[in-house]
Amino acid sequence: MQEITFKIEGPHIELLALLKATSIAQTGGHAKFIVDDGDVIRNGEREYRRRAKIIPTDVLEIGGEIKITLT
């Protein structure tokens, strides 16, 4: 599993913006597809909200292949 550590500026980042900022999604449409398809696990639970506010303590898994730890 590929592991990414991502530092956010400010109190949170929206899920779609995070997927684009980490280059997991090439476009906003691709990011929406990833979320809508149920490929995002946030802190052990599936996340379907595109604009979910991701905070520094969150851990995400994308498609079972990528793990993102936020700081």
39-55 core/surface letters (b: 16 or more CB in 10 A; e: else): bbbbeeeebeebebebe
Mean of pLDDT over the chain: 94
d(CA 57, CA 59): 7
Convert the pLDDT of each residue in 12-39 to its tens digit. Answer: 999 999 999 999 999 999 999 999 999 9
User: What is the CATH code for 2-70?
Assistant: 3.10.290.10
Instruction: Check residue 15 and give its pLDDT.
Output: 96
Report the share of the chain in percent with pLDDT over 70: 100
Sorted by where each begins, the domain ranges of the chain are 2-70
- pTM, two decimals, is 0.91
